[in-house]
Amino acid sequence: MNYFLAKTDPSTYSIDDLEKEKKTVWNGIRNPQAVKAIKLMKKGDKVLIYHSQGQGTIRGLAEVVADNRMDYTDERSWLVDFKFIKRFPEPFITLKEIKASGLFNDLALVRQGRLSTTQVPSKLIVWLKKKGLKI
């Protein structure tokens, strides 16, 4: 099992929306690096749901429930199905905290703030668990 991070603008689609719907198609991914991450996702992988737009916080956990596939409505885009697993309690882990740790300067989320989807290295998962996230 691998971990990924999917960033979303909460005014467009939030962890609340995913919790209500229980399952969603994660689509609209066109950035080549983000598409590469989507292509790596397999059924059973876990996905950290990250709210952007000023919040910069990891809000919850989802699971990949179907293999990725090309979005036939847009040849540059790929999509994948997620199901809601849980929301994380406050205080939320912030991007500011991740950056301040100095441990993840090579992480795409830290280097490329606008990247919407990325694979998460195991060292970040270990760090998040030490911070109290039940992943």
d(CA 68, CA 63): 12
Report if residue 39 sits inside a domain.
yes
Number of domains in the chain: 1
3-state secondary structure of 109: helix
Query: What percentage of the chain exceeds 70 in pLDDT?
Result: 98
How many Å is the Cα radius of gyration of the chain? Answer: 14
Report if residue 135 sits inside a domain.
no
Joined together, the tokens standing for residue 12 give 């467009």
- 114: domain CATH number is 3.10.590.10
3-state secondary structure of 33: helix
Joined together, the tokens standing for residue 50 give 């990250």
Report if residue 61 sits inside a domain.
yes
pLDDT digits (tens, 9 = 90+) for 62-84: 999 999 999 999 989 999 999 99
Report if residue 16 sits inside a domain.
yes
Report if residue 108 sits inside a domain.
yes
Report if residue 123 sits inside a domain.
yes
In this model, does residue 101 exceed pLDDT 70?
yes
In this model, does residue 114 exceed pLDDT 70?
no
Distance (Å) of CA 51 to CA 1, 25, 66:
23, 17, 23
DSSP assigned state of 11? T
What's the rounded mean pLDDT across residues 97-107? 89
Joined together, the tokens standing for residue 124 give 């970040």
> What local confidence, expressed as pLDDT, does residue 56 receive?
87
Report if residue 12 sits inside a domain.
yes
d(CA 62, CA 30): 21
What is the dihedral angle through the alpha carbons of 7, 61, 80, 104, rounded to the nearest 10 degrees? 50
Report the helix count and the strand count for the chain, using DSSP H and E: 5, 7
Question: Domain of 7?
Answer: 3-130
